[in-house]
Amino acid sequence: MATIRVALAEDHVLLREGISRLVAANEDFELVGVAADLPQLLKVVSEQEPDVVVTDIRMPPTGTDEGIRAAAWIREHHPRAGVVVLSQYTAPAYAVALLEHGSAGRAYLLKEQVASVDELARAIRIVAQGGSVIDPRVVDELVRVRSRHTSPLSSLTARESEILAEMAQGKSNAAIAATLSVTERAVEKHTNSIFAKLGLSEEKDVNRRVKAVLLFLSEPAES
């Protein structure tokens, strides 16, 4: 049986330790590197060239969509490596972003399933062979969203919608923070989340702001 070399990225210490033990418990897995943020993960992948990367969807430095960005980077620089993204969110936008350039060697699991050694191990093995695994609850949510023909904007929280509305007025993050009485850092985090949910995570900020605003303006007003 060929050994599957696994790299892990998770910023929560206890969960990182738990997943490391799950991986180590399987004789056909070898844990070749552990990371707590996106830069560390990319370094581990470059140096160790794992067969599969298991990564949290949100990690430092921004805590938004690092797992999705890591998967995109790995697809470009280490296309043979599979990626298992662990998330606590059933929001279809994340799964769609992960799979938009192909589902081969990609898995999207909810963290609840990590408690099951068999489920995580199964996903790692399938991804290592070029297959794909998507948590059934995420698929169900995607079907519900598609059946309602909802706009990508529907995945935004109330605060994110507020910030996008302010952005549409041409305001900077500092100006939005002042208007909504929140910190500029909070606006930055919400803005990054907006970009991720709208699938605008791979472009320069100025282009993402423009596209996000265009989506906002093209949405028909509620009667």
Q: Give the pLDDT mean for 160-166.
A: 87
pTM given for the model = 0.65
User: How many other CB atoms are found less than 10 A from the CB of residue 166?
Assistant: 19
- pLDDT score at 222: 46
- Beta carbons of 17 and 49 less than 8 angstroms apart: no
Res 151 pLDDT > 90: no
Which CATH number does 4-143 carry?
Answer: 3.40.50.2300
Q: Give the pLDDT mean for 89-117.
A: 79
Boundaries of every domain in the chain = 4-143, 152-218
- pLDDT score at 83: 97
Res 146 pLDDT > 70: no
Give the DSSP H or E segment for 6: strand 4-9
CATH architecture of 152-218: Orthogonal Bundle (1.10)
Lowest mean pLDDT among 88-97, 103-112, 122-131: 88-97
Q: How many whole angstroms separate alpha carbon 211 and alpha carbon 223?
A: 24
Q: Give the pLDDT mean for 180-193.
A: 92
Mean pLDDT of the chain: 84
Tokens of 196: 């991720």
Q: How many whole angstroms separate alpha carbon 199 and alpha carbon 203?
A: 10
Res 206 pLDDT > 60: no
